[in-house]
Amino acid sequence: MSSVALASSNIGRRDQEDILNHARKLYLTNSIRSALVQDLNALSLSTNPDKLAMYKLATKSCTCGSGMVACKVAHHIVAVDGIVACYYKLEDLDKAYVYASLHVILAPEAPEGYLRMAKALRLMDTSQSPATMSRCTWIYHQAIESILTYGNKAHKKLQVLRSLLRKDIISSLPTELRLDIFKNLSHTDVCRCMRVSKAWNEVSRHVDLWKDLKFVKRWASQTTRPFRPGILNDIITRRARNNSTSLAISGMKDFDIDGVKLRTILRVLPRLESLSLRGWHASSPADSPEIRLNAVLCAVLRNASPGLKKLHLGNLLSVEHSDGIDPVFRDWSSEPVMVQGLQELTISGVESSSSLLPGSNFLGRVNLYNIAPWQRLEKLMIQGTAYFLDGASINLSLLVTAMPALKDVSLIYCVSLPPEDGSGARFTTTSWNDLERLVLQWFFVFTPTIGGSIVPQLSPGIRSLELPFTHELFYDYYKSLEDEHFNTYGEPVHTGFERLEHLRLSEYLLCQSGSRHDREMSDALAWLVQLISKSCSSGTLRSLDIPFESNVQGALDQVLVKDDIRTLSCNAFDGHLNTLGLLGREDEAVLAWLDTFPNLTTVGVFPEDTEVGKLMIARLLAKGSMINTIYTNVLTGRYRDDALEMAAKKGIRLIHANRVPEPELEPLPK
């Protein structure tokens, strides 16, 4: 080729490049027709324009001078690709298909032409007929074969083509099975599934997938992101079709949901059975407006479905006003209360030392504790914060009056108030006749007057019990309760538990000692042993979660029927290695005591010393027994890997946890 011809060819290529760049800019600004003209002009630039035959059905060779069906001129391929894109925008699918075919002939090693051909076929046949889908599948197979033969075997579009060839198993399944699969996805993932295909979109909009609504903050920043206008209405009224039975909002502040918006949401959910509301998320901004517990509770009871059974409220601020009555509750007696059959109530993370709920002073003054929502309540959990002065304040006398049907009570980081008349020493009935489960954790008695009315009375029919094992609780308060009851009625409270299944004693301080402490703990243990003796002899007591100490061991050995115990956890014991690096006498005593329970299947090991725990786990894994599950929190790194390997060989589950899970209570036979 002469130097003149070479220079002319270079000038032509530069002109093509300029035209294509201009066409891209026009396309991005939505000037589709102008972009199409520019792409056609770029395509027409060749050394022999008179013989150009690219506008036909691509049955002739490219006239750019290569003399081959395939074309190696990059600008020609780019121009054809731009023409196809323009015809897509202009909705001229026939011409888009023709030029996509031309793209394949000019560059069989490029995946773009095959993808554009298949796209044109799918757009022309909106019904997605089997013939069209079969044709597209054939195109994808041809694309992969051509690229692997003539093109770049590491091309990124190969992965796209392979994904398109995967068989859509979901679409071939019955509707019931598809729903079972989609129910395992979050709502975010279900929304993504809507964009996969028409069949997936149809399944994703099924009303059964939107019965349990859950809104959780998933962004890292502390900025508030209110719902876009209409989004809640679309989800609740269109997708869920007002059939939602569960609603959870984690971070009301983050979604900018106040009392007014909450009332609106609740009014369009006539079948709501479970409601969970959290005022703020862990990453919420500290200076954002607080969400008041009282305002939320008021909105729920006034506007929620009458069939609401479960209510969980968390991270809400409770404020006690100067006159003792929250303005939200003024004249509430004149307002209709919609919720009538609430069965489960959980309030956690209350950041205030003020009173709350029925059983609080300021609600008691407006007779709120006598309203209908609490009469059928069976499960109650109140959890304050870990700060002593921020504990949730409760009055057990009012709780019993307001919630007579309670079967499950958990009071965690709570401050007990005396009766309203201030006569803490006078006996009041602080018990529930149907109580089956009672949990007290860090339960403080914040009153100058000691009396039994400020601790829950222990029912004879209780089945699961967790108490702080401190001499103050047992020796002072429960002894006072017994004395008050005996002085009032001339008989003891009761002679013992008749069907106790699980007992946990927590918060035991091993470091305390002294003659007075030992004497009081001895009296407390004697009282406790008397209470559980009936359950031991009847064989119902099968689970123990206790601190290990020689006095505790000796007291329990008097009444325990060890053949019946299936779960035993030592939640605290003061173990130390000896000078040789072996287990000390206290640790050996724990292992020896465990050996006296022949039918143990679950064990918990939670020593104060990490090294002690490692050696004890190794000893338990080495010996043969019926133990199939071990809970502990002391294993890390290489020690944990070795222990897991040994446990797998023995068929034992080794689980990292801070405590052994409480066994579930089976319904009693009627």
Give the CATH number, domain containing residue 32.
Answer: 1.25.40.10
Residue range 527-552: mean pLDDT, rounded: 89
Q: Which residue has the higher pLDDT, 355 or 454?
A: 454
Asked whether residue 52 is assigned to any structural domain, the reply reads yes
Among 59-68, 481-490, 638-647, top mean pLDDT goes to 638-647
- Separation between Cα atoms, residue 520 and residue 511, nearest integer Å: 15
Residue 398 lies in a domain: no
| DSSP-based three-state secondary structure for 278 | strand
At 390 the pLDDT is 53
Residue 356 pLDDT > 50: no
Of 19-28, 407-416, 420-429, 485-494, the one with minimum mean pLDDT is 420-429
pLDDT reported for residue 573: 79
- What pLDDT is attached to residue 361? 40
Q: Which two tokens stand for residue 112?
A: 């773009």
CA distance 286 to 283: 9
Domain end marker among 169, 200, 218: 169
At residue 157, the pLDDT reads: 84
- Domain finish residue from 131, 153, 169: 169
Residue 173 — pLDDT band, cuts 50, 70, 90?
confident
Full residue range of the structural domain in which residue 573 is found: 567-656
pLDDT digits (tens, 9 = 90+) for 300-341: 878 888 888 999 988 876 554 434 444 444 444 445 566 778
Of 125-139, 469-483, 543-557, 643-657, where does the model show the most confidence? 643-657
pLDDT tier, 275 (very low <50, low <70, confident <90, very high otherwise): very high
How confident is residue 151, by pLDDT bands cut at 50, 70 and 90?
confident
Predicted pLDDT at 534: 92
Can you give the pLDDT at residue 365? 36
12 within a domain of the structure (yes/no): yes
Q: What are phi and psi of 149, to 5 degrees?
A: -85, -45
In whole angstroms, what is the distance from residue 184 CA to residue 624 CA? 40
Calculate the average pLDDT of the chain. Answer: 75
DSSP reduced 3-state for 277: strand
CA atoms in the 13 A half-sphere facing the CB of 431: 19
Q: Quote the crossing angle between the two packed helices 74-89 and 3-28, to the nearest 10°.
A: 20
The bridge status of strand 379-384 relative to strand 344-350 is: parallel
Rounded CA-CA distance 379/410 in Å is 8
Kindly state whether residue 158 falls inside one of the protein's structural domains. yes
- Residue scoring higher pLDDT (29 or 279): 279
Interatomic CA distance for residues 670 and 667, integer angstroms:
9
Residue 117 lies in a domain: yes
CA angle 110/114/116 to nearest 5° reads 110
- Whole-structure pTM over 0.85, yes or no? no
- DSSP structure string for 306-352: TT--EEEEES-B----TTSS-GGGTTGGGS--------EEEEEEE--
| Residue 193, domain member (yes or no) | no
- The closest alpha carbon to 313, from 381, 371, 254, 375, belongs to 381
User: What is the per-residue DSSP string for 430-479?
Assistant: ---TT--EEEEES-EE--SS--GGGSPPPPTT--EEEEE--HIIIIIIIH
What's the rounded mean pLDDT across residues 245-268?
82
pLDDT in tens, 188-214: 888 888 888 788 888 888 888 888 888
pLDDT of 500 reads 94
Evaluate whether 504 touches 662 at the Cβ level (below 8 Å).
yes
* 291 occurs within a structural domain: no
Question: What is the average per-residue pLDDT within 428-439?
Answer: 78
User: What digits encode the pLDDT tens for the residues 23-76?
Assistant: 777 777 767 777 766 666 666 665 544 333 433 333 344 555 444 456 666 777
Say yes or no to pLDDT of 454 above 80. Answer: no
Q: How confident is the model at residue 7 (pLDDT cuts 50, 70, 90)?
A: very low
Sort strands 246-250 and 274-278 into parallel, antiparallel or unpaired: parallel
Instruction: Name the domain count of the chain.
Output: 2
At 298, the pLDDT band (50, 70, 90 cuts) reads confident
Phi/psi of residue 639, nearest 5 degrees? -60, -40
Chosen domain end from 103, 135, 169: 169
pLDDT at 399: 78
Instruction: Record the tokens describing residue 419, joined without a space.
Output: 């009766």
Nearest to 282 by CA among 196, 351, 222: 222
E runs forming strands in 231-309 = 246-250, 274-278
- What pLDDT does 566 receive? 95
Q: What b-and-e string marks burial along 218-247, b requiring 16 or more CB atoms within 10 Å of the CB? A: eeeeeeeeeeeeeebeebbeebbeeebbbb
Residue 63 within a domain = yes
Q: Note the pLDDT tens digit of each residue in 370-397.
A: 456 778 889 999 887 765 445 567 777 7
* Segment 181-189 mean pLDDT: 86
Per-residue tokens: 661:
């899970």
Residue 332 pLDDT? 40
